[in-house]
Amino acid sequence: MSIRIGILGYGNLGRGVECAISQNEDMELAAVFTRRDPKKLSILTTTAAVCSVSEVQEWKDKIDVMIICGGSATDLPKQTPEYARYFNVIDSFDTHAKIPEHFANVDAAAKESGHVAIISVGWDPGMFSLNRMYANAILPEGSDYTFWGKGVSQGHSDAIRRIPGVKDGKQYTIPVEAALEAVRNGENPELSTREKHTRECFVVLEEGADPTQVEQTIKTMPNYFADYDTTVHFISEEELQEKHSGIPHGGFVLRSGKTGWNREHSHLIEYRLKLDSNPEFTSSVLVAYARAASRLAREGQNGAKTVFDIAPAYLSAKSGEELRKSML
């Protein structure tokens, strides 16, 4: 029997989940729940229902796992504990500093209702976290490095767009190649913010806006740009549409460590992602963990979990026997 998935929220992430489900034969999309008028929402999967979030409780017994595709700032802190009362749930909560609080809230709700809830699933937090954790367990003495990019930072692009005189803009975070190489060479560098990443901005000006003024405002913006070497390019609206409408991202997690009685041997563990579509990759991770959630629930487990708590085999449609034969 297929694993019946619900999607709550149909933005980039929800659409990505829909696409990912179509790549997994043991899953089917049962319904998409939206805060908008369901009649006005058209989805890609012809066999799935489109419903208002107000109807969600009627689907209690018709959905095995609800994937909650809201934002981390205001949606997920409310939604995940709320829907964990009715469903096994998964989210991609990514406000690192607030994870302990979110975990506690979701855990309480999921334990009370007897559901499984997996939080902070995606690539960072998610696959990057897993790689940090495995690498630290294997090489207890060493240094960790995370680099992001090349990719679009939504937060930094939004910051640019709020500047007076800016019509539209997109910001790329780019890891500094020399810093990456120093880490790979086992130099264990101590890297400042500026030494790790550069920022590149593509900006469309409003008519009559002063480019020098805008560039200065961007480059000196505290937190967002002031601590980085930032490049600003002014381009036309057409060029922005044509060349910068994607949402690529990715990055690197590295651990450089020592072994040997006198710590005489160096080792490097590197994990890299290069993603054409940040939301579609995140969605693909969510869907793999939805499989795990459904299995764990069938085993009678409950409460909040993270990627650290889930044995890898739960993510795969293959049996243990097949996995040992083909992938070990």
Instruction: Report the interface residues with a copy of itself, using CB under 8 A.
Output: 16, 18-20, 22-24, 44, 96, 99-100, 103, 120, 125, 127, 129-134, 136-141, 184, 250, 259-261, 265-277, 280-281, 283-285, 288, 291, 306-313, 315-317, 320-321, 323-325, 327-328
Nearer to a copy of itself, 52 or 136 (CB): 136
- Structural contact between residues 38 and 52, judged by C-beta atoms closer than 8 angstroms: yes
47: number of Cβ within 10 Å: 7
Q: Is the peptide bond preceding residue 318 cis, with omega within 30 degrees of 0?
A: no
CB of 274 to a copy of itself, least distance (A): 4
Q: The tokens 């960072």 sit on which residue?
A: 124
CB of 300 to a copy of itself, least distance (A): 15
CB of 294 to a copy of itself, least distance (A): 14
Nearer to a copy of itself, 225 or 249 (CB): 249
Q: Buried (b) or exposed (e) across 284-303, using 16+ Cβ within 10 A? A: bbbbbbbbbbbbbbeeebbb
Q: Is the peptide bond preceding residue 140 cis, with omega within 30 degrees of 0?
A: no
Q: The tokens 């002063």 sit on which residue?
A: 210
Nearer to a copy of itself, 217 or 266 (CB): 266
Nearer to a copy of itself, 37 or 261 (CB): 261
CB of 165 to a copy of itself, least distance (A): 33
Nearer to a copy of itself, 260 or 300 (CB): 260
Nearer to a copy of itself, 161 or 258 (CB): 258
**φ/ψ of residue 220, rounded to 5:** -105, 5
Please list, in sequence order, all residues whose beta carbon lies within 8 angstroms of the beta carbon of residue 251, skipping any fewer than 6 positions away: 124, 128, 146, 147, 148, 149, 151, 175, 272, 273
CB of 229 to a copy of itself, least distance (A): 26
CB of 105 to a copy of itself, least distance (A): 13
Q: And the tokens for 49?
A: 């229902």
